[in-house]
């Protein structure tokens, strides 16, 4: 048999680097149309679904080559660009391509199922319908619907989003053959739906929009715009421009940012259906959105983290809203950062990417400083809205009621009596962070983690926020038998209890991950209070997302712990949180007030924020990072390992550490290694956790080292006894 010169290079979902060679079913040389198609292939005793990444020359001995079992797609499901980016991503994050594919591709497609039908439908009036409208009962639902169709076909996606119960009205029209359902083709996707007008952009906004219009090819734009400065208006205009050029747009938002409000706002203003992608969707819906974009039927996608891996054959723009948000970083498995991936994809797609935030990450800030990103400043709120007045109140030696000082209670009372809403922010859910024995000092600890248990459900239960362990509160101290067990500190539940007692005439709504577990939980809760005077108490969930037009007072309680954290990013995170929460006050025409109660009124972080806002903080923090040789001036990678027996993980990392030392000497790489250290939380969910921190001034030196040890680490016997992972550009050290 002649040796076939060409084979399929297939990416397989395996913890192994590289591509695998296969022959086509009939042995014929494959053409380029295979790239991006899925194939079912034999692998050992199993069959796997893989992606044809390239067609190329055979590199393995030909007798070892096997033909594929079946070709699953006739036309590519993935673009060549995306496949290439995913492979590069796997290399960058030292992750197996299989894991990268799992994060990037909807489950249905990974399993080899057919891509869903993404044809979209619209409804239009028939000739009879057009003549018949006037005979319909006035102001009835069918009449309103038929009247709307008079100005053209309306896509179902749009009706779904803006007209409740439209299907039954449509059915009644259809039985008279007054309306018909038509399939939309791609040309219809570029501007059929009517849109509402937004405000005229101000000069700062226009400058940014024009810079984007003028952008050719890849460029990163960073909007540093205070809350309410009109960033979202810029996004909308930029997406409209992109659509008008016949291109697709991707808008990434943080987990919490993808609210019905956000989606409604984009839908109202864009002339095409808006697709949604997030992790709470069903497998079918995820595959639907992904495929719609891949086939070009979808023109705009709003999604959370993993949406960054959506194929876009006609990509024109990527936007990352709240680019500093930590939910963009995947914390387990394949530790990618969606903001960085967005920049990478924009580069490989040769399109602009727009990053926006009131509090940009120090990484992005630095990139703008050195001219790698183009900075656009929106220092003022759009329209007539005024910035909030921020005050700090010293609570040393002050008597607190329900954990709140008198100034805080007065501030809330004044706001409520004026008909406004007050937000009390505490970054701690549950009733109280600890249960303490007043007689012997015992505190309730999680048996599986190095952490205290949090009191919940009034005071009836103890929960671990790290492993989910739960138990009833003990009636007496397990150590000394005393009944003097006390709740220590304040969580959102306890604040809610206190605020309800202090302000019995006003509604008090608690918002934290405990109360918003259902996806529409938060929306429902906020709808309940509406614009009425009342109190919202909650965690960072309240720091962003929903627009609260009547919010006039923000009280910040209990930031003191974060002022003294050992994590080098703690101050950055805290500043962002404070600015974001404070930015919620007084968005409309009523100016807002912000009060921060603290035992450390002179802390430099608070002083900087008060004096010069986030820019002042960012400048100083970057100077400190530079002196301390920390990111973004250096580059970091973490090797984490955990196991039930502490020595097993520790021993594995010691071996890795030896490898690191050997390779960096051999290859003369300037990479600093921390040696093996316990993780920020040395035990979690019954596993002991260790880490190794690598740090280098030059990114390529770090990358070279990681690439050099990767295969060897996989080959270590000790690696099979522990859970371990690489975390390149780690965001936390817990």
Binding site for ligand ADP (CB under 6 A): 199-202, 205, 225, 227-233, 382-383
Classified as helix, coil or strand, 297 is coil
Nearer to ligand ADP, 202 or 562 (CB): 202
Question: Quick one: what does residue 228 bind among Zn ion, ligand ADP, none, with the CB cut-off 5 to 8 Å set by partner type?
Answer: ligand ADP
Q: What are phi and psi of 231, to 5 degrees?
A: -65, -45
Are the C-beta atoms of 226 and 379 separated by less than 8 Å? Answer: yes
Nearer to Zn ion, 244 or 484 (CB): 484
113, 377, 466, 603: residue in contact with Zn ion (rule CB under 5 A): 466
What is the Cα–Cα distance from 194 to 52, expressed in whole angstroms? 41
Question: Quick one: what does residue 242 bind among Zn ion, ligand ADP, none, with the CB cut-off 5 to 8 Å set by partner type?
Answer: none
* Half-sphere exposure (Cβ direction) of 677: Cα atoms closer than 13 Å: 13
Question: Quick one: what does residue 437 bind among Zn ion, ligand ADP, none, with the CB cut-off 5 to 8 Å set by partner type?
Answer: Zn ion
What is the Cα–Cα distance from 393 to 490, expressed in whole angstroms? 18
What is the Cα–Cα distance from 326 to 730, expressed in whole angstroms? 11
Tokens representing residue 445 in the block: 């600890």
40, 402, 469, 714: residue in contact with Zn ion (rule CB under 5 A): 469
Q: Closest approach of Cβ 300 to ligand ADP, in Å? A: 17
What is the Cα–Cα distance from 642 to 635, expressed in whole angstroms? 23
DSSP 8-state class, residue 401? B
Question: Quick one: what does residue 162 bind among ligand ADP, Zn ion, none, with the CB cut-off 5 to 8 Å set by partner type?
Answer: none
What is the Cα–Cα distance from 358 to 260, expressed in whole angstroms? 21
Residue 479 is a binding residue for Zn ion (CB under 5 A): yes
Question: Quick one: what does residue 248 bind among Zn ion, ligand ADP, none, with the CB cut-off 5 to 8 Å set by partner type?
Answer: none
Q: Cβ contacts of residue 702 below 8 Å, gap of 6+?
A: 635, 636, 637, 669, 671, 694, 695, 696
Q: Closest approach of Cβ 266 to ligand ADP, in Å? A: 11
Partners of residue 696 on adjacent β-strands: 635, 671
Q: Closest approach of Cβ 123 to ligand ADP, in Å? A: 31
Question: Quick one: what does residue 449 bind among ligand ADP, Zn ion, none, with the CB cut-off 5 to 8 Å set by partner type?
Answer: Zn ion
Nearer to ligand ADP, 27 or 549 (CB): 549
Nearer to ligand ADP, 98 or 230 (CB): 230
Nearer to ligand ADP, 233 or 572 (CB): 233
What is the Cα–Cα distance from 376 to 247, expressed in whole angstroms? 24
Q: Any idea which residue has 């119960």 for tokens? A: 165
Alpha-carbon torsion (220, 324, 509, 280), positive or negative:
positive
What is the Cα–Cα distance from 689 to 48, expressed in whole angstroms? 33
Question: Quick one: what does residue 482 bind among ligand ADP, Zn ion, none, with the CB cut-off 5 to 8 Å set by partner type?
Answer: Zn ion
Question: Given phi > 0 = left and psi -120 to 50 = alpha, else beta, which region is 730?
Answer: beta
Nearer to ligand ADP, 538 or 586 (CB): 586
477, 495, 585, 731: residue in contact with Zn ion (rule CB under 5 A): 477
Long-range contacts of 370-375 (CB under 8 A, 24+ apart): 372/220, 373/220, 373/221, 373/222, 374/211, 374/219, 374/220, 374/221, 374/222, 375/222, 375/224
Question: Quick one: what does residue 43 bind among ligand ADP, Zn ion, none, with the CB cut-off 5 to 8 Å set by partner type?
Answer: none
Tell me which residues in 418-457 interact with Zn ion (CB under 5 A).
Answer: 437, 439-440, 442, 446, 448-449
Question: Quick one: what does residue 694 bind among Zn ion, ligand ADP, none, with the CB cut-off 5 to 8 Å set by partner type?
Answer: none
- The 10 Å Cβ neighbour count of residue 377 is 16
Nearer to ligand ADP, 226 or 404 (CB): 226
Q: Closest approach of Cβ 674 to Zn ion, in Å? A: 26
464, 582, 594, 694: residue in contact with Zn ion (rule CB under 5 A): 464
Q: Closest approach of Cβ 245 to ligand ADP, in Å? A: 22
Stretch that binds Zn ion, among 341-349, 380-388, 466-474, 617-625 (CB under 5 A): 466-474
Question: Quick one: what does residue 464 bind among ligand ADP, Zn ion, none, with the CB cut-off 5 to 8 Å set by partner type?
Answer: Zn ion
Are the C-beta atoms of 234 and 205 separated by less than 8 Å? Answer: yes
Are the C-beta atoms of 621 and 571 separated by less than 8 Å? Answer: yes
Nearer to ligand ADP, 383 or 675 (CB): 383
Nearer to ligand ADP, 50 or 230 (CB): 230
DSSP 8-state class, residue 473? P
Q: Closest approach of Cβ 261 to ligand ADP, in Å? A: 10
Question: Quick one: what does residue 202 bind among ligand ADP, Zn ion, none, with the CB cut-off 5 to 8 Å set by partner type?
Answer: ligand ADP
Residue 43 is a binding residue for Zn ion (CB under 5 A): no
Q: Closest approach of Cβ 440 to Zn ion, in Å? A: 3
Q: Closest approach of Cβ 407 to ligand ADP, in Å? A: 28
Nearer to ligand ADP, 53 or 227 (CB): 227
Question: Quick one: what does residue 244 bind among Zn ion, ligand ADP, none, with the CB cut-off 5 to 8 Å set by partner type?
Answer: none
- Say how many Å lie between the first and final Cα of the chain, rounded: 58
Question: Quick one: what does residue 15 bind among ligand ADP, Zn ion, none, with the CB cut-off 5 to 8 Å set by partner type?
Answer: none
Q: Closest approach of Cβ 549 to ligand ADP, in Å? A: 8
Q: Which candidate, 610, 608, 614, places its Cα nearest to that of 577? A: 614
Q: Closest approach of Cβ 669 to ligand ADP, in Å? A: 43
Over 652-675, what HEC string results?
HHHHHHHHHHHHHHHCCCCEEEEE
Q: How many residues bind Zn ion (CB under 5 A)?
A: 15
Tokens representing residue 722 in the block: 């522990």
What is the Cα–Cα distance from 342 to 357, expressed in whole angstroms? 15
Residue 670 is a binding residue for Zn ion (CB under 5 A): no
Residue 287 is a binding residue for Zn ion (CB under 5 A): no
DSSP 8-state class, residue 390? E
Question: Quick one: what does residue 170 bind among ligand ADP, Zn ion, none, with the CB cut-off 5 to 8 Å set by partner type?
Answer: none
Are the C-beta atoms of 78 and 36 separated by less than 8 Å? Answer: yes
Distance of CA 628 to the CA centre of its chain: 29
Nearer to Zn ion, 407 or 685 (CB): 685
What CA–CA distances, in Å, run from 418 to 261, 414, 452, 526, 588? 26, 6, 40, 20, 15
Q: Closest approach of Cβ 521 to ligand ADP, in Å? A: 23
Partners of residue 598 on adjacent β-strands: 394
Stretch that binds Zn ion, among 136-144, 421-429, 459-467, 645-653 (CB under 5 A): 459-467
Q: Which candidate, 34, 25, 36, 49, places its Cα nearest to that of 113? A: 49
What is the Cα–Cα distance from 522 to 256, expressed in whole angstroms? 10
Cα-Cα-Cα-Cα dihedral of 138, 139, 140, 145, to 10°? 100
Q: Closest approach of Cβ 193 to ligand ADP, in Å? A: 20
What is the Cα–Cα distance from 386 to 90, expressed in whole angstroms? 46
Classified as helix, coil or strand, 157 is helix
Where does residue 243 rank: exposed (0-12), middle (13-18), buried (19+ CB within 10 A)?
A: buried
Q: Closest approach of Cβ 647 to Zn ion, in Å? A: 21
Partners of residue 687 on adjacent β-strands: 684
Nearer to Zn ion, 110 or 463 (CB): 463
Nearer to ligand ADP, 90 or 201 (CB): 201
Q: Closest approach of Cβ 457 to Zn ion, in Å? A: 17
Question: Quick one: what does residue 107 bind among ligand ADP, Zn ion, none, with the CB cut-off 5 to 8 Å set by partner type?
Answer: none
Nearer to ligand ADP, 159 or 578 (CB): 578
Are the C-beta atoms of 628 and 568 separated by less than 8 Å? Answer: yes
Q: Closest approach of Cβ 621 to ligand ADP, in Å? A: 22
Tokens representing residue 485 in the block: 């067990």
Stretch that binds Zn ion, among 35-43, 374-382, 392-400, 478-486 (CB under 5 A): 478-486
Please report, as ranges, the residues that interact with Zn ion according to CB under 5 A: 437, 439-440, 442, 446, 448-449, 464, 466-467, 469, 477, 479-480, 482
């Amino acid at each position: 048999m002649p040796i076939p010169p060409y084979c399929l290079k297939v990416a397989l979902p395996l913890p192994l680097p590289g591509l695998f060679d296969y022959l086509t079913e009939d042995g014929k040389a494959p053409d380029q149309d295979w790239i991006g198609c899925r194939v079912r292939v034999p692998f050992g005793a199993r069959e796997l679904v893989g992606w044809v990444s390239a067609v190329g020359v055979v590199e393995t001995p030909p007798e070892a080559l096997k033909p594929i079992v079946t070709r699953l797609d006739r036309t590519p499901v993935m673009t060549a660009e995306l496949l290439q980016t995913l492979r590069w991503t796997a290399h960058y994050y030292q992750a197996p391509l299989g894991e990268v594919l799992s994060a990037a591709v909807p489950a249905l497609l990974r399993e080899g199922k057919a891509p869903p039908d993404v044809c979209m439908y619209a409804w239009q009036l028939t000739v009879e319908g057009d003549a018949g409208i006037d005979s319909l009962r006035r102001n009835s639902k069918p009449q309103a619907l038929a009247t709307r169709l008079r100005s053209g076909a309306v896509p179902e996606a749009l009706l779904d989003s803006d007209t409740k119960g439209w299907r039954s009205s449509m059915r009644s029209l259809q039985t008279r053959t007054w309306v018909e359902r038509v399939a939309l083709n791609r040309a219809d996707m570029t501007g059929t739906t009517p849109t509402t007008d937004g405000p005229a952009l101000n000069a700062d906004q226009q400058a940014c929009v024009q810079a984007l219009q003028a952008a050719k090819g890849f460029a990163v734009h960073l909007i540093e715009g205070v809350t309410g400065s009109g960033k979202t208006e810029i996004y909308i205009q930029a997406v409209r421009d992109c659509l008008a050029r016949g291109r697709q747009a991707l808008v990434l938002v943080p987990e919490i940012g993808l609210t019905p409000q956000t989606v409604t706002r984009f839908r109202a203003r864009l002339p095409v259906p808006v697709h949604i992608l997030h992790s709470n969707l069903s497998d079918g819906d995820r595959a639907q959105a992904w495929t719609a974009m891949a086939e070009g039927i979808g023109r705009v996608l709003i999604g959370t983290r993993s949406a960054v891996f959506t194929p876009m054959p006609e990509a024109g723009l990527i936007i990352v809203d709240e680019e500093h948000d930590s939910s963009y970083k995947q914390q387990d498995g394949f530790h990618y950062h969606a903001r960085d991936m967005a920049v990478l994809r924009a580069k490989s797609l040769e399109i602009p990417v727009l990053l926006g935030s009131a509090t940009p990450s120090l990484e992005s800030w630095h990139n703008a400083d050195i001219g790698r990103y183009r900075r656009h400043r929106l220092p003022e709120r759009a329209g007539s809205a005024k910035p909030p007045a921020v005050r700090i109140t010293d609570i040393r030696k002050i008597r607190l009621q329900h954990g709140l000082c008198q100034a805080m209670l007065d501030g809330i009372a004044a706001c409520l009596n004026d008909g406004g809403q007050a937000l009390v922010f505490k970054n701690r859910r549950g009733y109280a962070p600890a249960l303490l024995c007043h007689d012997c000092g015992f505190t309730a600890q999680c048996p599986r983690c190095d952490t205290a248990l949090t009191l919940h459900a009034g005071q009836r239960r103890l929960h671990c926020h790290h492993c989910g362990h739960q138990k009833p509160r003990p009636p007496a101290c397990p150590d000394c038998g005393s009944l003097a067990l006390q709740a220590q500190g304040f969580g959102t539940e306890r604040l809610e209890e206190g605020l309800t007692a202090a302000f019995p005439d006003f509604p008090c709504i608690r918002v934290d991950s405990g109360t918003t577990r259902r996806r529409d939980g938060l929306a429902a809760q906020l709808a309940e209070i509406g614009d009425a005077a009342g109190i919202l108490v909650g965690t960072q969930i309240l720091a962003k997302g929903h627009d609260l037009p009547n919010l006039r007072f923000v009280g910040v309680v209990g930031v003191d712990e974060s002022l003294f954290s050992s994590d080098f990013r703690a101050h950055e995170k805290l500043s962002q949180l404070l600015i974001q929460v404070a930015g919620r006050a007084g968005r409309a025409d009523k100016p807002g007030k912000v009060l921060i109660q603290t035992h450390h009124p002179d802390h430099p972080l608070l002083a900087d924020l008060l004096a010069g806002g986030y820019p002042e903080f960012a400048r100083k923090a970057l100077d400190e990072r530079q002196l301390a040789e920390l990111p973004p001036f250096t580059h970091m990678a973490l090797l984490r390992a955990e196991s039930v027996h502490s020595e097993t993980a520790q021993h594995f990392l010691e071996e890795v550490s030896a490898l690191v030392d050997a390779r960096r000497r051999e290859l003369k790489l300037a990479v600093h290694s921390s040696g093996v250290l316990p993780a920020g939380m040395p035990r979690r969910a019954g596993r002991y956790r260790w880490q190794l921190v690598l740090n280098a001034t030059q990114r390529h030196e770090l990358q070279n080292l990681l690439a050099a040890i990767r295969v060897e680490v996989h080959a270590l016997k000790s690696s099979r006894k522990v859970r371990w992972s690489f975390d390149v550009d780690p965001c936390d050290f817990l």
